[in-house]
C-alpha cells in the first residue's frame, strides 16, 4: 500500500510542472515539467514520501515498449548500415573526457577520476556507481551528471528546434510511420496485441535489469518487443497517455535528486559544471553535423541522437521533437555501451 501511495505522490509533484509547460507550449513538457516541479518540491522539503522502489524500472519498461514496437524488418538493415556511424559517435564521446577531464583537473583541483567520470555522458546512477568503485568523489560525479542531464533536457529541445528551423526542413521529420498509425488509430484485436507487447516488454525489462545492463529496463523491453515485431508478431503499443505518464514519472524521479545538499555543492562548483555542460553540448552539435553528412538523416534526428543526454530520456521524447526514436535509441545505446566497455579499464590504467 505504501508503494502505491508513494507512486501516486510521485505523479502528484510531477503533474503540476507538466501542466504548466504544456500550457506554455514547451517541447517535451511531460519530462521537463515534472523534473522542474519535483526539483522545486525537493529543495523546499515538500516531499514527505520516499521514491517508490522499482519505479524507475517500471517507467523504463513502458518507455522501452513504445520504441520496440516501432521496429520493423527494415530496421535491421538500418542498424547494420548505421553501425559504423554509431561506433564513431561512441568513440567521439570517449575522446572528450580525456581532454576535458584533464582541463577540469588542472583548472579546479579535482582528482582525475572524478573529472573523467563527471565529463562523460554515461548516466547519473551508472557513473556514480563507477565513481564508488574507482575511489572518485561519487557525490560530485552525480552532481555534474545531473546538471548536465537537466541542462540537456531543458535546453536541447529549444536549441534543436532553433537549429533545425535555421538549417533543416522540419517537414521531412514527419514521415508516416505504421507504428504511429497503429498507436493513434488502433486496430482489430488491439487489446490482445497490447497485452502481448506489455508481457514481452516486462519480460525483457526484467531480464535487462537482472543481468545489469545499463538502462536495463528500457534496453531489455525495447530489445524483446523489437525482436518480436521483426519476427512478424503483431504488437500494439499502449495508449499514448501511458507514454506521457511514464515521462512525467521519470522526470519527477530525476527532479527528486535536487536536494538542498546538492544545491549547496552546486553553488561551489557552478563554474566548472556549467563550463563542462556548455562544452559537451557544443561537442554533441559538432557530432550531429558529422553524422548528418555521413548518413543523410534529418537534422533533428542527428541533434537528438548525438547530444549528451540519457538514452531513456531522449528516446522517449524524440518523436515529440520530430526526431526518429529508433535512430536516436540506437546511437545512444552504442555510445553508452562503448563508454562502459572502454572507460573503466582506461581510467584504471591511467591511475595505475
Q: Which of 284, 346, 344, 326 lies closest to 78, judged by CA?
A: 326
How many angstroms separate the CA atoms of 115 and 141, rounded? 8
Query: Any idea which of 9-23, 172-186, 197-211, 254-268 has the lowest mean pLDDT?
Result: 172-186
The answer to whether 325 and 70 are in contact (CB under 8 A) is: yes
Band of pLDDT at residue 289, cut at 50, 70 and 90: very high
The answer to whether 310 and 127 are in contact (CB under 8 A) is: no
Dihedrals phi, psi of 135, to nearest 5 degrees: 60, 35
Per residue in 167-202, is it b (16+ CB within 10 Å) or e — as a string? Answer: ebeeeebeeebebbebbeeeeeeeeebbebbbebbb
How many angstroms separate the CA atoms of 213 and 312, rounded? 13
Query: Any idea which of 23-27, 184-188, 242-246, 320-324 has the lowest mean pLDDT?
Result: 184-188
pLDDT, position 288: 93
The answer to whether 213 and 172 are in contact (CB under 8 A) is: no
The answer to whether 63 and 246 are in contact (CB under 8 A) is: yes
Element (H, E) at 30: helix 29-44
Higher per-residue confidence, 265 vs 111? 111
**Residues contacting 133, CB < 8 A, separation 6+:** 344
pLDDT, position 188: 47
The pLDDT of residue 199 is above 90: yes
pLDDT, position 132: 65
- What digits encode the pLDDT tens for the residues 138-169? 667 777 877 787 788 778 878 888 887 777 55
Q: What is the mean pLDDT of residues 185-214?
A: 82
Higher per-residue confidence, 1 vs 124? 124
The answer to whether 122 and 338 are in contact (CB under 8 A) is: no
Band of pLDDT at residue 125, cut at 50, 70 and 90: low
The answer to whether 314 and 333 are in contact (CB under 8 A) is: no
pLDDT, position 17: 92
What average pLDDT does the chain have? 80
**Residues contacting 223, CB < 8 A, separation 6+:** 64, 68, 204, 208
Dihedrals phi, psi of 258, to nearest 5 degrees: -85, 85
How many angstroms separate the CA atoms of 118 and 185, rounded? 44
pLDDT, position 129: 59
pLDDT, position 158: 81
The pLDDT of residue 40 is above 50: yes
How many angstroms separate the CA atoms of 257 and 136, rounded? 19
CA 25 to chain centre: 21
How many angstroms separate the CA atoms of 295 and 221, rounded? 27
Band of pLDDT at residue 207, cut at 50, 70 and 90: very high
Amino acid at each position: 500500500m505504501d508503494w502505491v501511495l508513494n507512486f501516486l505522490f510521485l505523479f502528484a509533484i510531477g503533474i503540476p510542472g507538466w501542466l504548466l509547460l504544456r500550457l506554455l507550449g514547451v517541447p517535451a513538457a511531460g519530462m521537463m515539467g515534472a523534473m522542474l516541479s519535483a526539483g522545486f518540491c525537493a529543495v523546499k522539503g515538500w516531499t514527505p514520501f520516499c521514491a517508490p522502489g522499482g519505479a524507475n524500472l517500471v517507467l523504463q519498461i513502458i518507455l522501452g515498449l513504445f520504441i520496440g514496437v516501432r521496429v520493423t524488418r527494415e530496421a535491421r538493415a538500418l542498424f547494420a548500415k548505421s553501425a559504423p556511424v554509431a561506433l564513431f559517435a561512441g568513440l567521439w564521446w570517449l575522446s572528450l573526457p580525456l581532454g576535458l577531464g584533464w582541463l577540469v583537473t588542472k583548472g579546479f583541483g579535482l582528482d582525475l577520476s572524478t573529472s573523467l567520470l563527471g565529463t562523460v555522458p554515461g548516466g547519473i546512477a551508472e557513473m556514480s556507481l563507477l565513481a564508488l568503485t574507482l575511489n572518485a568523489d561519487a557525490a560530485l560525479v552525480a552532481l555534474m551528471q545531473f546538471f548536465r542531464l537537466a541542462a540537456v533536457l531543458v535546453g536541447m529541445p529549444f536549441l534543436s528546434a532553433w537549429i533545425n528551423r535555421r538549417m533543416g526542413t522540419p517537414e521531412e521529420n514527419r514521415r508516416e510511420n505504421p507504428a504511429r498509425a497503429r498507436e493513434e488509430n488502433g486496430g482489430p484485436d488491439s487489446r490482445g496485441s497490447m497485452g502481448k507487447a506489455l508481457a514481452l516488454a516486462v519480460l525483457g525489462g526484467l531480464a535487462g535489469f537482472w543481468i545489469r545492463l545499463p538502462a536495463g529496463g528500457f534496453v531489455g523491453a525495447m530489445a524483446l518487443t523489437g525482436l518480436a515485431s521483426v519476427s512478424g508478431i503483431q504488437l500494439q503499443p499502449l495508449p499514448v497517455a501511458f507514454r506521457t505518464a511514464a515521462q512525467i514519472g521519470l522526470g519527477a524521479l530525476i527532479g527528486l535528486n535536487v536536494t538542498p545538499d546538492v544545491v549547496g555543492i552546486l553553488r561551489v562548483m557552478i563554474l566548472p559544471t556549467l563550463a563542462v555542460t556548455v562544452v559537451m553540448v557544443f561537442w554533441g552539435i559538432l557530432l550531429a553535423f558529422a553524422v548528418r553528412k555521413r548518413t543523410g538523416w534529418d537534422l533533428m534526428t542527428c541533434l537528438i541522437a548525438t547530444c549528451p543526454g540519457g538514452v531513456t530520456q531522449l528516446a522517449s521524447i524524440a518523436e515529440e521533437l520530430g526526431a526518429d526514436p529508433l535512430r536516436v535509441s540506437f546511437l545512444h545505446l552504442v555510445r553508452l555501451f562503448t563508454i562502459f566497455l572502454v572507460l573503466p579499464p582506461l581510467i584504471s590504467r591511467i591511475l595505475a
